[in-house]
Structure 1
Amino acid sequence: MRLVPLAELKRGDCHWPVSPHGAAPDQHLFCGAGTRKGEKWCPYHQLIGYQPRAPRHG
């Protein structure tokens, strides 16, 4: 994690927000770690960001 401000995020940087809730807009920070091609989040944040769907019972 590199803690990158929004204005400095580039393609290939993880866009996972890491700022405390209520941070001022100019203080929003993002993970900034490397991502896989075409992804917005690094592998770690993809693991915690995507939850498998529960099977439907019906």
Structure 2
Amino acid sequence: MRGEDRRQSPEENSLATVKRKHVYFEQFHHNNLTKKQKCLSSETETCSQMGFLFQGLF
């Protein structure tokens, strides 16, 4: 590797940029939680539907 300077530029450290990154992270995190909740609720719904089907068979 080359001896590059990997420090952030002043623009990257500005308050507006930090806030923007924080907002993006919160939105990303919220979207992931929402997706997980939708998956869990659909899995639960599917499982309960399958349970009713199996109860009807036996």
TM range (shorter): under 0.3
Q: Which structure has the highest helix share of the two?
A: 2
When the two structures are superposed, what TM-score results if normalisation uses the length of structure 2? 0.27
- If you compute each CA radius of gyration, which structure gives the higher value, 1 or 2? 2
When the two structures are superposed, what TM-score results if normalisation uses the length of structure 1? 0.27
Q: Which structure has the highest strand share of the two?
A: 1
